[in-house]
């Protein structure tokens, strides 16, 4: 026993000592640490040859030039393209995060067909055949006008192809989502006549009077606006920002002028009144006014004299006078509009009132002012040939000028008003007001075809999805619109082989048209979209393909267009928010989120403040005077006539008492855990209000109340 223990102990000690002095322990220790440095579950990016490629970002109307760094042809980084006439180097966070869209595993990877509640994968051939059969059937029954299309915009060749398809098919029902560009055109049409558009020379203006336009929150062409804004510092140019909330633009401005939501148009008219009364207008310019300048002037002096305007808008009368004097006496003043969403909900009264300021001080087509010129037309499609069915159908009346009429008519009728719908690059089920009724309308359309790259809220309502390449994978002409002073057409180029079984939407449209045969097909004789694009941009193709862009207008436009004030002279009324609660809910912008277009990327969501999104909760901004009894960060029930939601409260001195601000761009409901099901889509809480005289949805917000939850 004793001997055993002794030898056992000896052996044990010996072994321990042996192992301790042998290199085994050291080697194992070393190996284990080397292993931690090369954990197989931590990816090791592959190295290779570095190249750079230029393209254009089309995630928003900004259309920035981008430069993409690649490793052995694998894109790894997107940056702004230096020397590009829109953005010259910088890029916004969404464009920079572009590769997260490209490789997003929740993309639509192949054509899909709705079967009950589920989508099933089908081949491109089958998908095109199903679409063509359905369309042929509609045509055969003699109601081609029952095909409708919703696209993001009117500009560009893909939209051009869709419009051509509808026309030769026989339908006038082509709709676009509201866009800043469409409002610029509408404002120009109302004041200066059809066929024109407006842009603002912000980068040269010496005094910018902005009626809520978030020039550093993504208004217009975002990067271009950022640069113009930043250059104010060296140029000593002033910015006055009029809006109910201390947005980043307001914070960055020389002065923030809080205004009661929805009364910006009245404020603009009040300023007009002071300018007229004090004879501060430019008499050469007003010589061009028609449609009743005297009547307009009298109206202003009666209804918009400073004290009255002050009462309506909440801006002090003395401030109104000061602003008017500053604006009129400034060397290069410009008044810009873009309240609310800039275009999502907009009252024509306000757009026109603001632009009238430009007209009064005579800064139209002057350096640093507002440019009024014909819409840029660079696409040269061959003339369409239409058969009788097409002619008859195309001649029927469009269901209404805007999306909201389309939605109302579809929802109001017991019969299908629309038999088939194309949706391209648009997500109306998310981004239109009262998105639930939009969704209902889309759901009532028997056959919906989506070209979306993602299974977004609208694509989920589709019967067939013909998935498109993302902007990294596709060829497309992208005109810069969005109110920048220079018109540039950029070329988005495929930078990488398509990651999934998707197509350029241009090619998808060509395939559908060809499958329709007959007179429709005759209008689409290009083999590929690439061939089509080259042939419809004959004047600028060389520049597009060599430089990656073409500048189609630059510098001061000539001439001074007439100004017709008859719309305002009729004294249109100001839009009131729907409902009779005490508070007003307004949507707020946030550069780090996307409210139109693809949802923000995981990177962009990551940058969103915890005062905007906390966990899965949306946070609303309330002034401490309004939020009496609420705890910062605490829960609350927010109710509008459209519904109630649970939110959290952020007590914020930067918002007017009585106003609640809620960010746009959250509350997506599709399957992507990094970006979806976070927060609430504010569009569900706001209902459209149609402005009489324009037909526009002009709801700048909605009445609301808030209670403890």
Partner 1 sequence: MKQENNKAYKFGMVIDLDKCTGCGSCMVSCMSENNVPFKEDESNKKDSITWMRVYKLTNDKSFPDTQVAYMPRPCQHCSGKGGHGHSPCVSVCPATATDYGYDTGIVSQIYTRCFGCRYCMGACPYHARYFNWWDPKWPEGMENYLSPNVSPRMRGVVEKCSFCYHRFQAARDQAYAEGNKDEIAEENYQTACTTACPAGAIVFGDLNNPEHMVHKIVKPDPHPDPRNKHVIGKSRNPKVFRLLERLGTNTKVYYLSEREWVRKSGDNYLDGEWDKIKNHHGASVSHD
Partner 2 sequence: MDSALIPEGAKRCAFPKFAIGIAVVGAVLLWGVFAMFLCWFKGLNQTNMNDYYGFALWIWADLAVIAVGGGAFFTGLLRYIFKIDELKNIINFAVIIGFICYSSALLILAIDIGQPLRGWFIFWHANVHSMLTEVAFCLSAYFAVLTIEFIPNILENRQANKVPFFHHLAHNMHGVMAVFAATGAFLSFFHQGSLGGVAGVMFGRPFAVREGLLIWPWTFFLFTWSAAAFGPCFTLLVTRITEAITGKKLVKDNVVHLLAKISGWMIITYIIAKIIDTIYWAIVTAPSLGFTLSHFYTNNSFYGYWILIVEIIVCGVLPGALLIMKSTRENSNLRLIAIILGVIGVCLNRWVMVLQIMAVPVMSFDTWALYIPSWQEIATSILPVAYGIILISIAYRYLPVFPQEKELNSVEPVTEAE
Ligand X SMILES: Nc1nc2c(c(=O)[nH]1)N[C@H]1C(S)=C(S)[C@@H](COP(=O)(O)OP(=O)(O)OC[C@H]3O[C@@H](n4cnc5c(=O)[nH]c(N)nc54)[C@H](O)[C@@H]3O)O[C@H]1N2
Which of ligand SF4, partner 1, partner 2, none does 674 bind, CB closer than 5 to 8 A by kind? partner 1
Is 486 a binder of ligand SF4 (CB under 6 A)?
no
Q: Which helix (H) or strand (E) holds 633?
A: none
* Contacting residue, 149, 165, 198, 223, with ligand SF4 by CB under 6 A: 223
| Chain residues 162-221 in contact with Mo ion, contact rule CB under 5 A | 179
Least distance in angstroms from the C-beta of 25 to partner 2: 11
Strand, coil or helix: 576: coil
Q: For residues 489 and 512, which CB has a smaller minimum distance to ligand SF4 in the complex?
A: 489
Helix 23-37 with 2-21: angle, nearest 10 deg: 50
Is 247 a binder of ligand X (CB under 6 A)?
yes
Least distance in angstroms from the C-beta of 247 to partner 1: 9
Instruction: Please state, in angstroms and rounded to a whole number, the distance separating the CA atoms of residues 229 and 235.
Output: 10
Q: For residues 601 and 676, which CB has a smaller minimum distance to ligand SF4 in the complex?
A: 601
Q: For residues 537 and 598, which CB has a smaller minimum distance to ligand SF4 in the complex?
A: 598
Instruction: Please state, in angstroms and rounded to a whole number, the distance separating the CA atoms of residues 444 and 414.
Output: 10
- Which listed range, 55-63, 150-158, 267-275, 490-498, lies at the site for ligand SF4 (CB under 6 A)? 55-63
**Residue 245 gets which letter from DSSP?**
B
CB 170 within 8 A of CB 391: yes
Taking residue 109's Cβ as centre, other Cβ atoms within 10 Å add up to 14
- Which listed range, 109-117, 188-196, 377-385, 588-596, lies at the site for ligand X (CB under 6 A)? 588-596
Strand, coil or helix: 455: coil
Instruction: Please state, in angstroms and rounded to a whole number, the distance separating the CA atoms of residues 117 and 136.
Output: 25
Q: 156: which 2 tokens?
A: 């560009």
| Chain residues 36-65 in contact with partner 2, contact rule CB under 8 A | 36
Q: By Cβ distance, which residue is nearest to Mo ion?
A: 179
Q: By Cβ distance, which residue is nearest to ligand SF4?
A: 95
Q: For residues 258 and 333, which CB has a smaller minimum distance to ligand X in the complex?
A: 258
Q: For residues 148 and 598, which CB has a smaller minimum distance to ligand SF4 in the complex?
A: 598
| Chain residues 126-185 in contact with ligand X, contact rule CB under 6 A | 152, 177-180
* Contacting residue, 20, 27, 35, 643, with partner 2 by CB under 8 A: 35
- Which listed range, 28-36, 182-190, 325-333, 334-342, lies at the site for partner 2 (CB under 8 A)? 28-36
* Contacting residue, 55, 68, 81, 95, with ligand SF4 by CB under 6 A: 95
Terminal-residue alpha carbon distance, the chain: 76
User: Degrees (nearest 5) of the Cα angle 447, 172, 453?
Assistant: 45
Least distance in angstroms from the C-beta of 653 to ligand SF4: 22
Is 29 a binder of partner 2 (CB under 8 A)?
yes
Taking residue 277's Cβ as centre, other Cβ atoms within 10 Å add up to 16
Strand, coil or helix: 233: helix
Is 339 a binder of ligand X (CB under 6 A)?
yes
Least distance in angstroms from the C-beta of 152 to Mo ion: 8
Which of partner 2, ligand X, partner 1, none does 32 bind, CB closer than 5 to 8 A by kind? partner 2
Which of ligand SF4, partner 1, Mo ion, none does 308 bind, CB closer than 5 to 8 A by kind? none
Instruction: Please state, in angstroms and rounded to a whole number, the distance separating the CA atoms of residues 352 and 198.
Output: 12
Residue found under tokens 């550069």: 591
Least distance in angstroms from the C-beta of 30 to partner 2: 9
Instruction: Please state, in angstroms and rounded to a whole number, the distance separating the CA atoms of residues 269 and 242.
Output: 14
Instruction: Please state, in angstroms and rounded to a whole number, the distance separating the CA atoms of residues 699 and 689.
Output: 5
Going by C-beta distance under 8 Å and a sequence separation of 6 or more, which residues neighbour residue 68? 52, 53, 54, 55, 75, 77, 78, 79, 472, 495
**Residue 146 gets which letter from DSSP?**
G
Is 8 a binder of partner 2 (CB under 8 A)?
no
CB 449 within 8 A of CB 424: no
* Contacting residue, 55, 60, 196, 313, with ligand SF4 by CB under 6 A: 60
Least distance in angstroms from the C-beta of 483 to Mo ion: 11
* Contacting residue, 54, 85, 92, 420, with ligand SF4 by CB under 6 A: 92
Q: For residues 175 and 454, which CB has a smaller minimum distance to partner 1 in the complex?
A: 454
Going by C-beta distance under 8 Å and a sequence separation of 6 or more, which residues neighbour residue 162? 149, 151, 174, 422, 424, 509
Instruction: Please state, in angstroms and rounded to a whole number, the distance separating the CA atoms of residues 154 and 156.
Output: 7
Going by C-beta distance under 8 Å and a sequence separation of 6 or more, which residues neighbour residue 642? 434, 436, 684, 685, 686, 687, 702
Binding stretches for ligand SF4 (CB under 6 A):
57, 59-60, 62-64, 91-92, 94-95, 222-223
Binding stretches for partner 2 (CB under 8 A):
5-6, 29, 32-33, 35-36
Binding stretches for Mo ion (CB under 5 A):
179
């Amino acid at each position: 026993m004793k001997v055993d223990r002794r030898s056992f102990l000896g052996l044990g000690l010996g072994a321990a000592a042996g192992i301790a002095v042998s290199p085994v322990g050291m080697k194992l220790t070393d190996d284990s640490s080397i292993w931690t440095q090369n954990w197989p579950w931590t990816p090791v990016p592959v190295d290779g040859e570095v190249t750079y490629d230029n393209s254009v970002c089309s995630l928003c109307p900004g259309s920035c030039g981008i430069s993409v760094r690649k490793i052995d042809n694998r894109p790894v980084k997107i940056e702004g393209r230096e020397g590009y006439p829109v953005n010259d180097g910088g890029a916004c966070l969404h464009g920079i995060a572009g590769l997260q869209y490209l490789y997003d595993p929740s993309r639509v990877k192949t054509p899909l067909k709705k079967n009950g509640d589920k989508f099933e994968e089908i081949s491109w051939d089958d998908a095109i055949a199903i679409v063509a059969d359905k369309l042929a059937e509609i045509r055969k029954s003699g109601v081609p006008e029952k095909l409708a299309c919703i696209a993001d915009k009117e500009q560009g060749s893909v939209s051009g192809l869709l419009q051509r398809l509808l026309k030769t098919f026989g339908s006038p029902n082509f709709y676009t989502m509201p866009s800043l560009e469409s409002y610029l055109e509408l404002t120009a049409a109302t004041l200066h006549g059809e066929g024109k558009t407006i842009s603002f020379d912000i980068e040269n203006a010496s005094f910018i009077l902005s009626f809520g336009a978030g020039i550093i929150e993504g208004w217009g062409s975002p990067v271009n606006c950022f640069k113009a804004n930043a250059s104010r510092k060296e140029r000593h140019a002033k910015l006055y920002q009029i809006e109910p909330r201390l947005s980043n633009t307001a914070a960055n401005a020389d002065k923030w002028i809080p205004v009661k939501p929805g009364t910006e148009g009245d404020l603009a008219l009040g300023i007009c009144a002071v300018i007229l009364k004090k004879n501060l207008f430019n008499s050469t310019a007003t010589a061009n006014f028609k449609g009743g300048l005297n009547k307009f002037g009298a109206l202003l002096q009666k209804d918009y004299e400073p004290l009255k305007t002050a009462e309506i808008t909440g801006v002090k009368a003395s401030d109104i006078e000061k602003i008017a004097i500053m604006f009129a006496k400034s060397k290069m003043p410009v008044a810009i509009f873009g309240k609310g969403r800039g275009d999502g909900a907009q009252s024509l009264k306000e757009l026109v009132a603001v632009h009238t300021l430009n007209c009064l001080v005579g800064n139209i087509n002057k350096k640093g002012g507002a440019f009024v010129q014909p819409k840029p037309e660079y696409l040269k499609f061959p003339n369409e040939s239409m058969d009788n069915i097409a002619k008859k159908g195309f001649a029927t009346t469009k269901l209404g000028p805007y999306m909201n009429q389309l939605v109302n008519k579809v929802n109001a009728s017991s019969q299908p008003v629309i038999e088939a719908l194309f949706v391209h690059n648009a997500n109306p089920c998310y981004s239109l007001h009262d998105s639930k009724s939009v969704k209902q309308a889309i759901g009532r359309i028997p056959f919906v075809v989506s070209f979306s790259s993602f299974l977004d809220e609208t694509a989920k309502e589709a019967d067939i999805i013909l998935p498109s390449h993302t902007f990294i994978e596709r060829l497309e002409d992208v005109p810069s619109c969005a109110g920048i002073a220079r018109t540039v057409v950029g070329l988005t180029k495929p930078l990488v082989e398509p990651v999934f079984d998707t197509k350029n939407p241009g090619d998808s449209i060509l395939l559908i048209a060809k499958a329709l045969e007959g007179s429709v097909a005759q209008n689409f004789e290009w083999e590929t979209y690439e061939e089509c694009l080259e042939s419809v941009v004959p004047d600028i193709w060389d520049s597009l393909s060599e430089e990656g862009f073409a500048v189609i207008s630059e510098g001061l436009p000539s001439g001074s267009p007439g100004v017709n004030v008859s719309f305002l002279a009729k004294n249109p009324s100001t839009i009131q928010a729907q409902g009779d609660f005490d508070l007003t809910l307004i949507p707020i912008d946030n550069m780090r989120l996307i409210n139109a277009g693809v949802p923000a990327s995981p990177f962009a969501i990551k940058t969103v403040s915890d005062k905007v999104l906390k966990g899965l909760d949306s946070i609303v901004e309330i002034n401490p005077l309004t939020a009496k009894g609420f705890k910062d960060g605490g829960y609350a029930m927010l109710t509008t006539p459209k519904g109630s939601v649970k939110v959290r409260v952020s007590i914020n001195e930067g918002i007017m008492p009585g106003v609640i601000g809620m960010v746009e761009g959250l509350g997506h409901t599709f399957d992507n855990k990094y970006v979806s099901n976070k927060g609430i889509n504010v569009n569900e809480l706001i209902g459209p209000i149609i402005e009489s005289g324009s037909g526009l949805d002009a709801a700048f917000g909605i009445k609301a109340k808030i209670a403890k939850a």
